Structure 1
Amino acid sequence: MIRLNKYMSEAGVCSRREADRLIEAGKVTVDGMKATVGMQIEEGQKVCLNGKPVEKDKKDKLILLAVNKPRGVVCSEKSQGGDVNIIDFLHYPKRITYVGRLDKDSEGLLLMTNHGDIINKMMRAANGHEKEYEVTVDKEFNDRFLKDMAAGVHLKELDVTTRPCQVERLGKKKFKIILTQGLNRQIRRMCKELGFHVTGIKRVRIMNIHLGHLTTGGYRNVTEAEIQELMYLLEDSSNEPGYPQELNEEDMQDDE
């Protein structure tokens, strides 16, 4: 027996959290019957998403792509309101999904994979893995702003204080920030609380994988050496999707 959301995650369809959403929306069936959140399935049962079979093939080789997401492309499995989603944008020949979201107006490093457990291990906030961003705001800031960002900012909308983080000046209106959590629009909300408006966000690193000089809209295969280091870093990470009870799942959406 295996939980349905884990089965879908290991099949590379989506993360467990996304699987639960799809199940709740009535888009998943098991042996022709609508699935329910939390249900378990046995080997041989037929799982379908939107009428198409979901099959887990243990022989599938790990796919892990580093993508330089352009502004305007949304991290979603489907098209919404005329927006171009990342799946359609890449038009990759095999089924892959994104590791954590980037906001529509943000750009930079996005990882795509067919391995659901990697998604859960990398993005679960409790595992504390680093994500690095370059951020531009609408006006010049002083050192006090950097210290306040680094110390943690109370977000009134979510009624939560962000974790202490690393912040470094890159220019009069530009700074680098390294986060170990993924609250929805976190950087934008932090800056807003301190009186600044974000005009640009670029993610340049997730754990040991760097954006580098990847062309906007382009992608590359993560190297074998990078994968080996990543697997070492993930060795002690939990793949169970757990989040603080006081926050709903939309509030926990990665990333900035």
Structure 2
Amino acid sequence: MGYKVKPTDVVKYGKKALNPEKMVYILINKPKDYITTTDDPEERKTVLDLIAGACSERVYPVGRLDRNTTGLLLLTNDGELAEKLTHPSSGIKKIYQAELDKPITTEDFERLQAGLELEDGFIRPDEVGIVTPDAYVVGLEIHSGRNRIVRRMFEHLGYEVQKLDRTVFAGLNKKDLPRGKWRFLTEKEVIKLKFLL
């Protein structure tokens, strides 16, 4: 007799658990004041509020962005991909734009390029660039997933980050995705993401 698999059953093929759910990949351009958790006891706005009604599957944020940080965030129910994207060994590229409280000096810019010794170890961005002519906005590419790493690097140099925006995540960018909006990844983008790892 055939057995009808229930949604609660765990089905394995060899050692790999099979997922009966349709895989969903959603890219959000996160606004300020939304938190990157699936629920919040204090009832603050979460990123899931932004995608209400997008899909019936339960999706989770891949990694996190601080409440005050804006920009790209991926949500998915593909646990395997999420794990790979957040694991430090994957070296996933992230590009941030930081708006500072004062222009960065040439000396500090060079220190940032060379790398800094923070309380939890050495960190060096992969690339650094000055985005605006007034040197208030600095762009940096980094693949570390350490907590508040970009803000802490600038704090270490004596700057306060007024605005922080993630403009690129794992090869995905914000083109045609206004702040607060979301879209599903295309099949091509999903294949590319999996190929990255």
Q: Is the 8 A contact 2:62 2:75 kept in 1?
A: yes
Residue matched to 2:32: 71
Alpha-carbon distance in structure 1 between the residues aligned to 2:76 and 2:10: 24
1:18-72: CA deviations, max 9, x gaps? xxxxxxxxxxxxxxxxxxxxxxxx958xxxxxxxxxxx86342321111011100
Stretches (4+) displaced over 6 A: none
Counterparts of 1:58 and 1:120 in 2: how far apart (Å)? 15
2:190 pairs, out of 189, 214, 227, with: 227
What is the 5 A alignment of 1:67-216?
A: 67-91=28-52, 92-93=54-55, 94-156=57-119, 158=120, 160-171=121-132, 172-216=135-179
| Structure of greater relative contact order (alpha carbons < 8 Å, 6+ residues apart) | 2
| Secondary structure, aligned partner of 2:188 | helix
Unaligned runs of 5+ in 1: 1-10, 12-41, 45-55, 235-256
Alpha-carbon distance in structure 2 between the residues aligned to 1:58 and 1:202: 34
Provide the rounded CA distance (Å) in 2 between the counterparts of 1:190 and 1:196.
9
Q: Counterpart of 2:14?
A: none
Report the Cα offset of residue 227 of structure 1.
1.4
Aligned counterparts of 1:57 and 1:221: Cα–Cα separation in 2? 23
| Cα shift readout 1:134-164 (whole Å, capped 9, x = no counterpart) | 11000011222222222221123x3x11134
* 1:175 CA displacement: 1.1
Task: Give, in whole Å, the separation in 1 of the partners of 2:190 and 2:51.
Answer: 21
Give 2:141's aligned amino acid.
I
Alignment partners' CA distance in 2, 1:214 and 1:43: 37
Query: Share of identical aligned residues, percent?
Result: 27
Match of 1:248 in 2: none
> Which residue is equivalent to 1:15?
none
**Alpha carbons 1:149, 1:165 under 8 Å: kept:** no
Could you tell me how far apart the structure 1 residues matched to 2:106 and 2:24 are? 42
- Tell me the SS of whatever aligns to 2:61: strand
CA distance in 1, matches of 2:102, 2:183: 35
TM-score, normalised by the number of residues in structure 1: 0.66
1:251 matched to which residue of 2?
none
Q: TM-score, normalised by structure 2?
A: 0.85
Whether the 8 Å contact between 1:204 and 1:212 is mirrored in structure 2 is no
SS at 1:161 equivalent: strand
State the shift of 1:103 in Å. 0.4
SS in 2 for 1:73: coil
Q: Distance in 2 between matches of 1:230 and 1:198?
A: 30
Q: Give the distance between the partners of 2:172 and 2:143, measured in 1 at CA.
A: 15
